[in-house]
């Protein structure tokens, strides 16, 4: 519904105060601490109306009001004022990445750590599917007869070994030439792209080393593995959740249980990989399991390709003013880094 200007001012002040203090907010507090420009009697009347509309609720008869999920939803969609990250905060994020050895997995671990630290909430980063990991180096090594070992060194730091069996002996010198040719043409691309597009294109060119056309299909098939990228969830900040919910034992237990359900988190954050923008999911408008929780999620890219997502999980009274720009800034920084890594 479309609230009047006075209802908006009071709802924003109430949520800002509740986020800061985590205590039910009364008309006296709003009148004394915020320049609302209304009498205490008018504020009380507006609070009663906001409660009737379902935007706030009373925990006790005379104990002030707290926001409801509907109130938070309206606040995030219409009232929140986004703060710019300070230069110090931006530097802190960037310094965290400078400690890394520029491997994809380390970048994602650093991302989960910095999001949890600066948001004072838990963080989840969903890494790309293994087939989207980019190739750093490839080597073909003769083993025995027609058996060849293919070593794939990925940008993530993963090293993959694949045994390929051919019907005839291939010399190590020929394998050196094949390795050099493939590295020159497919390095920096993801496995999916190499297998489905680049190798077929190279076969059409017919400018590769002798025997490339007959060997290439087997090389392409061997690149993909059924267990590629199964461990791609990075979590940090569980202690922050404990601090945020320690007075709510039952809710804390159900929230921590979420983090034991890796498939739930993986499926939940997978939905935000293809979607640009920063999304705020408040309580049960995301899933029944999320009562009392807010998740802020966005994706990140490698070039123009959307490859993963990241998010903050915390109480509904989180500081949206800082959490939303924090996630947006971090997402852009991670996308830039991963794009550079892939080249």
- Strands (E) in 106-247, as ranges, are 122-126, 135-144, 147-154, 159-165, 233-236
pTM above 0.75, yes or no: no
Q: How confident is the model at residue 285 (pLDDT cuts 50, 70, 90)?
A: low
Let me know if the fold of 5-77 is the same as that of 87-129+230-342: no
d(CA 259, CA 289): 11
The larger pLDDT score, comparing residue 249 to residue 37, is at 37
Lowest mean pLDDT among 25-34, 57-66, 216-225: 57-66
CATH of domain 134-223: 3.30.390
> Are 104 and 127 in contact, with CB atoms under 8 Å apart?
yes
Q: Return the pLDDT at 131.
A: 59
Question: pLDDT tens for residues 119-173?
Answer: 999 999 998 876 567 888 999 999 988 899 999 988 766 788 889 999 888 899 9
- The residue with tokens 């680049």 is 198
Q: How confident is the model at residue 337 (pLDDT cuts 50, 70, 90)?
A: confident
Reply yes or no on whether the pLDDT at 90 is more than 60.
Answer: yes
Q: Return the pLDDT at 165.
A: 92
Q: Return the pLDDT at 122.
A: 94
Q: Return the pLDDT at 326.
A: 95
| Residue range 205-229: mean pLDDT, rounded | 80
| Residue range 66-88: mean pLDDT, rounded | 91
Interaxial angle between packed helices 249-258 and 238-245, expressed in degrees from 0 to 180 and rounded to the nearest 10? 160
Q: Return the pLDDT at 155.
A: 74
Q: How confident is the model at residue 274 (pLDDT cuts 50, 70, 90)?
A: very high
Give the number of other Cβ atoms within 10 Å of residue 292's Cβ: 18
Q: Return the pLDDT at 286.
A: 59
Half-sphere exposure of 343 (CA within 13 A, CB side): 7
Ranges of each domain in the chain: 5-77, 87-129+230-342, 134-223
Reply yes or no on whether the pLDDT at 227 is more than 80.
Answer: no
Reply yes or no on whether the pLDDT at 284 is more than 80.
Answer: no
Reply yes or no on whether the pLDDT at 185 is more than 70.
Answer: yes
CATH of domain 87-129+230-342: 3.30.450.40
Is it true that domain 5-77 has CATH number 2.60.40.10? no
| Residue range 95-104: mean pLDDT, rounded | 71
- The residue with tokens 């058996």 is 147
Reply yes or no on whether the pLDDT at 178 is more than 90.
Answer: yes
Q: How confident is the model at residue 219 (pLDDT cuts 50, 70, 90)?
A: very high
Give the number of other Cβ atoms within 10 Å of residue 137's Cβ: 14
């Amino acid at each position: 519904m479309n609230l009047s200007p006075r209802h908006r001012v009071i709802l924003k002040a109430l949520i800002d105060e509740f986020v800061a203090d985590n205590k039910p907010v009364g008309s006296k507090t709003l009148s004394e601490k915020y320049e609302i420009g209304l009498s205490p009697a008018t504020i009380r009347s507006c609070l009663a109306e906001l409660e009737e509309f379902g935007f706030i609720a009373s925990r006790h008869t005379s104990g002030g009001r707290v926001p409801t999920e509907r109130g938070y939803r309206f606040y995030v969609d219409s009232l929140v004022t986004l703060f710019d990250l300070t230069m110090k905060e931006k530097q802190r994020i960037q310094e965290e990445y400078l400690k890394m050895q520029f491997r994809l997995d380390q970048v994602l671990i650093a991302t989960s750590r910095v999001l949890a630290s600066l948001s004072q909430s838990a963080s989840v980063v969903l890494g790309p599917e293994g087939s989207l990991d980019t190739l750093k180096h490839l080597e073909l090594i003769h083993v025995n007869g027609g058996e060849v070992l293919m070593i794939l060194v990925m940008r993530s730091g993963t090293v993959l070994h694949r045994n390929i069996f051919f019907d005839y002996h291939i010399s190590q010198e020929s394998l050196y030439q094949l390795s050099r040719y493939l590295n020159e043409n497919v390095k920096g691309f993801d496995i999916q792209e190499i297998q489905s597009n680049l190798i077929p294109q190279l076969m059409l060119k017919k400018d590769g080393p002798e025997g490339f056309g007959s060997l290439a299909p087997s090389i392409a098939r061997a690149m993909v593995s059924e267990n590629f990228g199964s461990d791609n969830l990075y979590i940090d900040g569980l202690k922050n959740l404990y601090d945020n919910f320690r007075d709510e034992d039952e809710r804390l237990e159900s929230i921590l249980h979420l983090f034991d359900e890796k498939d739930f988190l993986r499926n939940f954050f997978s939905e935000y990989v293809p979607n640009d923008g920063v999304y705020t999911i408040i309580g049960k408008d995301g899933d029944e399991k999320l009562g009392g929780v807010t998740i802020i999620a966005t994706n990140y890219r490698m070039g123009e390709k959307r490859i993963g997502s990241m998010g903050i999980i915390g109480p509904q009274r989180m500081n949206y003013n800082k959490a939303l720009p924090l996630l947006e800034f971090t997402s852009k920084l991670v996308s830039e880094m991963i794009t550079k890594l892939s080249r």
